[in-house]
Amino acid sequence: MRVLLVDDNALTRYTIKSLLDKLGHEVVAEAEDGPSAVKYFSELKPDVVFLDLILPGRSGVEVLEDLRAVDPAARVVVVTAVDQDEIDRRLADKGVSAILRKPFSYDDFKTLMRDLA
């Protein structure tokens, strides 16, 4: 799978990229903010986007809406440490493919990627 990583934390991006590489997936770009994410998404058309909820400038929910405007069928995995039912409902209403809670294990990540395939 071709993946776009969107997270303002370099260590989180590195960790997810390493796991994706290990599982045979390709990270086509990394973005630290919403505008970069939308630009890369529009240009590269990745198979899936890993999107942090807390980003500088615009929230991950707002970025999700921007991605949906470009492609309503975009597959987005939200990566977050936020664990609130209200956020989960909002994300489900916006059609996220999955929510990956930080911290996560390798087995959790591997299962997620298998389910996305």
Task: Kindly report the CATH number assigned to the domain that includes residue 32.
Answer: 3.40.50.2300
Q: Is residue 115 part of a domain?
A: no
- The pLDDT tens digits for 95-105 are 999 999 989 99
pLDDT at 83 over 80: no
pLDDT the model gives residue 82: 80
Tell me how far apart the alpha carbons of residues 35 and 103 are, in angstroms, rounded to a whole number.
26
Q: Is residue 116 part of a domain?
A: no
Entry pTM:
0.95
Number of domains comprising the chain = 1
Position 87 confidence tier, pLDDT thresholds 50, 70, 90? confident
pLDDT the model gives residue 99: 93
Q: Is residue 47 part of a domain?
A: yes
pLDDT the model gives residue 86: 86
- The pLDDT tens digits for 35-73 are 999 999 999 999 999 999 999 989 999 999 999 999 999
Position 85 confidence tier, pLDDT thresholds 50, 70, 90? confident
Which region among 32-46, 78-92, 98-112 has the lowest average model confidence (pLDDT)?
78-92
Q: Is residue 53 part of a domain?
A: yes
Tell me how far apart the alpha carbons of residues 89 and 92 are, in angstroms, rounded to a whole number.
5
